Amino acid sequence: MIILGIETSCDESAVAIVKDGREVLSSVLYSQVQEHLAFQGVVPEIASRSHLKELLPICRQALQQAHMDFDQIDAIAVTSKPGLMGALMVGVVFAKSLAYALKKPLIDVHHIYGHLVSISLQEKPIQFPLIALIASGGHTTLVQMNSFFEFTILAKSIDDAAGEALDKAAKLLDLGFPGGPAIEAFANGGNSNAFDFPMPLKGELNFSFSGLKTSLLHKIQKHPNMNAQEKKDMTASFQETIMNSLCEKLALAQEKTGIDNLAICGGVAKNQVLRDKIGSLVQGGELYMTPMAYCTDNAAMIAAAAFYTQQKDGFAGLDLIPKASAPML
Ligand code: KG4
Ligand code: ZN
């Protein structure tokens, strides 16, 4: 089944064409990051207007890259939840219009389920069961997946998401936006043992990151005249603690469930410190890391997830409406 996926839940406008949930035929993305840079965060109204402007040209590009016409597409998939309401609305209306005009079925995709399915956009076929960590700007969730259709949520953050903590920390450290990549770049060459940060909720499966951010604020206030190297050391130590906390929970979940296979996805899964650490957690099982290009928001993960969503829940009606928040289960 060849699915054209559309993603507009936040500040990336994206269209992709994916065959049978795995084979990416094209994936086109317009990142609005430059448009939001001056505000050090995503401005919802700017995001919606930009999606409106970019979506059609991107869609044409996605078809061109896949050497396809609309008549070769079997279904149209769209992220309808969760996300910025105005931004979602642009994608959903665009998808419904395409589905109606082309007489193609419509598939309603949950954005976070899209991140979860992105683990399969690489060569290794997935062996279940596995423990997946979804670490994005809005979610930090541990999921036990028994198949693409059957999964349970083992833990989540009780406050900030990991990406959110990195974004807020980057603001405190004056490193720019988005925070995750800015922190990773600046921390390079820093001593990650130089500063002590408390390990949040040690021994528990749930995550917590807001205390770490407060701890960072106190350290910055205590060292008002840091030189560049000291600031690098502090940034590296903060990043290390976040990544260690994510790894600690993954190891604990392995211990509690007896499942060795691990997977990571979501924007934070792009972090090389995390990617390097995670290998040592898997002893005899398999490790699945979403490829870098599909960690942050993209439409390939939406078209891939749609393949499974449609098998489980069928097609959506043209009365589909977006939802700003919605649980994955
Ligand atoms: O999955 P995503 O694109 O959007 C959401 O669904 O939230 O994730 C965005 C998050 C941001 O918080 C960003 O700072 C973080 O992913 N991020 C990173 C890296 N690249 C993006 N965090 C750590 N290291 C990175 N290289
Ligand atoms: Zn996302």
Pocket flag, ligand 1, residue 110 (CB < 6 Å): no
Cβ within 8 Å of residue 304, ≥6 positions away: 5, 18, 21, 22, 24, 114, 117, 118, 120, 121
- For the stretch 284-301, pLDDT in tens is 999 999 999 999 999 999
d(CA 141, CA 131): 10
**Whose C-alpha lies nearest to ligand 1, atom 14?**
180
Please answer whether residues 134 and 266 qualify as being in contact, where contact means their C-beta atoms are separated by less than 8 angstroms.
yes
Q: Is the pLDDT of residue 329 over 80?
A: no
Helices 162-172 and 210-222: crossing angle in degrees, nearest 10, is 20
DSSP per-residue codes, 93-153: HHHHHHHHHHT--EEEEEHHHHHHHGGGSSSSPP-SSEEEEEE-SS-EEEEEESSSS-EEE
Give distance in angstroms: CA of 29 to centre of ligand 2: 13
Pocket flag, ligand 1, residue 83 (CB < 6 Å): no
Please answer whether residues 144 and 257 qualify as being in contact, where contact means their C-beta atoms are separated by less than 8 angstroms.
yes
Give pLDDT, residue 97: 98
Q: Where residue 328 falls among pLDDT bands split at 50, 70, 90? A: confident
Distances (CA, A) of 102 to 150, 258, 289: 32, 48, 36
Pocket flag, ligand 1, residue 268 (CB < 6 Å): yes
- For the stretch 242-254, pLDDT in tens is 999 999 999 999 9
- For the stretch 130-150, pLDDT in tens is 999 999 999 999 999 999 999
Q: Is the pLDDT of residue 324 over 90?
A: yes
SS3 label, residue 23: strand
Give pLDDT, residue 37: 86
Tokens 């002893």 appear where?
Answer: 283
Q: Is the pLDDT of residue 304 over 80?
A: yes
The ligand placed nearest to the CA atom of residue 171 is 1
Q: Where residue 100 falls among pLDDT bands split at 50, 70, 90? A: very high
Q: Is the pLDDT of residue 40 over 90?
A: no
Pocket flag, ligand 1, residue 114 (CB < 6 Å): no
Q: The whole model's pTM is what?
A: 0.96
How many CB atoms neighbour CB 42 within 10 A? 18
- For the stretch 145-202, pLDDT in tens is 999 999 999 999 999 999 999 999 999 999 998 999 999 999 999 999 999 999 999 9
User: Taking all residues of the chain, what is their mean pLDDT, rounded to a whole number?
Assistant: 97
Q: Where residue 110 falls among pLDDT bands split at 50, 70, 90? A: very high
d(CA 255, CA 154): 13
Tell whether the torsion through CA atoms of 176, 177, 183 and 185 is positive or negative.
Answer: negative
d(CA 237, CA 219): 11
